[in-house]
Amino acid sequence: MQKKLGSLVIIVIGLLLLLPQQSRAEDASFYAKQEVEKAWDALNGGDLAGALRSFQQAMVIDPQYAPTYYGKGHAYLAQNKIGLAVTNFKKTIELADPPMVEAYVNLGFALTLLGREQEGLKMYNQALALDPNNKEAHLNLANFYCSELNGTKAWEHIRFAQKMKAEISPEQLEEMESLCPEGR
């Protein structure tokens, strides 16, 4: 009986020692989230330098907070620093649990901008494996297939994106029709 009680005391003490660590991790994520929200406000307001400072601060607060890297990827895309965007979208994918479908879509877009179309294609398809109704992935696949002059596949994705209420301008549709006509 004495031995069981001693073991129980050790288990309880061990659990109590773990609680502060869990609490610190939750606090870090909370403050990192606040900093990421501040960064998005700056990014949406056109303050790229301020956005990157806030994303960097969030990363210092909680280096495991995936939305930080996702936001940094967007900021780098806006600055046309595609390689840095790729790095940050990859880090997002590595850390995000559950997976951030948007990170796959944006990584695919960034890779395509770098001329790595086949890698981009893989990312779009991974995004659709996670969320078959992702309209951005379908639009990007439509653009990919149109660049490959595969009108049949391009329009298959355009139609699906339209069904999902994606915003496609009449000018964009007209341009795609001229570049890769439906059914060809």
Based on the fold, state whether residues 45 and 122 are members of the same structural domain.
Answer: yes
Q: Are residues 179 and 156 in the same domain?
A: yes
Q: What percent of the chain has pLDDT over 70?
A: 86
Longest Cα pair distance anywhere in the chain, in angstroms?
84
Can you give the residue range of the structural domain that contains 138?
133-184
Residue 117 has pLDDT above 70, yes or no: yes
- The angle subtended at Cα 132 by Cα 128 and Cα 134, nearest 5°, is 80
User: What tens digit of pLDDT does each residue of 120-162 get?
Assistant: 999 999 999 999 999 999 999 999 999 998 999 999 999 999 9
Domain-embedded: residue 6 = no
At CA 151, angle to CA 132 and CA 142, rounded to 5? Answer: 35
Do 124 and 71 belong to one domain? yes
For residue 17, what pLDDT is reported? 53
For 92, other C-beta atoms within 10 Å of its C-beta total: 25
Residue 63 has pLDDT above 70, yes or no: yes
| 149 within some domain | yes
CA 161 – CA 170 distance, rounded (Å): 14
Return all residues near 89 (Cβ < 8 A) that are at least 6 apart.
Answer: 69, 70, 73, 103, 106, 107, 110
pLDDT tens per residue, range 1-43: 555 545 545 554 554 455 444 445 567 789 999 999 999 999 9
Q: Is residue 20 part of a domain?
A: no
CATH number for the domain spanning 52: value is 1.25.40.10
Helix (H, G, I), strand (E, B) or coil at 161: helix
Asked if 141 and 115 sit in the same domain, the reply is no
Q: Is residue 14 part of a domain?
A: no
Query: Which pLDDT does position 144 carry in this prediction?
Result: 94
- 151 within domain boundaries: yes
As for how many domains the chain has, the answer is 2
pLDDT at 27: 72
Looking at the fold, whether 155 and 65 belong to one and the same domain comes out as: no
Based on the fold, state whether residues 44 and 126 are members of the same structural domain: yes
Query: What's the rounded mean pLDDT across residues 113-120?
Result: 96
Indicate if 60 and 71 belong to the same structural domain.
yes
The answer to whether residue 88 sits within a structural domain is: yes
Do 177 and 147 share a structural domain? yes
∠ Cα 72 73 75 (to 5°): 60
Q: Which pLDDT score, from 0 to 100, does residue 59 have?
A: 95
Please report the pLDDT score of residue 7 as a whole number: 55
Asked if residue 140 and residue 111 are part of one domain, the reply reads no
Computed over every residue of the chain, the mean pLDDT equals 88
Please report, as a single letter, which amino acid is at residue 11: I
Report pLDDT for 4. 57
Residue 115 and residue 32 in one domain: yes
Residues 35 and 104 both lie in one domain: yes
Peptide linkage before 98 cis (omega within 30 of 0): yes
| pTM for this entry | 0.82
CB-based contacts of 93-97 (< 8 A; 24+ apart in sequence): 95/64, 95/65, 95/66, 95/69, 96/66, 96/70, 97/66
